[in-house]
Amino acid sequence: MNPLSVFCFLTLLSIGLNKIPQVYGDLISDTCGKALYKDVCEKTLRADPNSRGAKVDGLAKIALKAASSSAKTTQGQITSLLKTAKDKAVIAALKDCNENYDGANSQLNDSLKAMVNKRYADVNIWVTAAMTDGDSCEDGFKKGTSPLTQANTNFGQLCSNVLAITNQIK
C-alpha cells in the first residue's frame, strides 16, 4: 500500500474514532439537559459504563437503577439509625420511613418491569409514587431534625431525573 494512502486512512480513522465518544457524550448532555437536576443526571449516567453507546431508553434504565440503588441504600441507613436511636419521636419517624422505602423499593421494581416492556406511562406512575414515599419520609421528622435529609434529597433528584428521561421516550 502507498505510504500516502496509509497516512490518509489512519488520519480518517483517528478522526472518526475521536467523534464516537462525543456522540455519546452529547446524547447524555442532551438527555440530561431536560432534567431539573442536570449535574446529578450527567454524573449518574457517566458513572455507568453501560451508558456508552446507550440510546435514551437505555439511559432511562440506568437512571432508574440508580434511583433503585439509592432507595436500598437509604433503607439500609434507616435500619442502622433504628439500632442507635433513643428518641421516641425519631424512632417512630424512622419506622415510618422504613415502611415508605419498602413501598418505594417495590414501586421501583415494578418500574423496572414496566420499562423492560416499554410501558413508560406506568414507569412514570411508579417512579412518582416512589418519589412521594421519599418525601413522606422526610416530612415525618420535625423541621430540621431529619438524619435522612441528604439521602431523601438525593433519592428525590434521582427519581426526578428518571421522569425527565422517560418523558423523552414516550
Q: In this model, does residue 41 exceed pLDDT 60?
A: yes
Question: For the chain, how long is the longest CA-to-CA vector?
Answer: 82
pTM to 2 decimal places: 0.84
d(Cα 48, Cα 58) in Å, to the nearest integer?
11
Q: What is 46-78 written as a DSSP string?
A: HHSGGGTT--HHHHHHHHHHHHHHHHHHHHHHH
Tens digits of residue pLDDT in 79-108: 999 999 999 999 999 999 999 999 999 999
Mean pLDDT of the chain: 88
Is 1.20.140.40 the CATH number for 29-167? yes
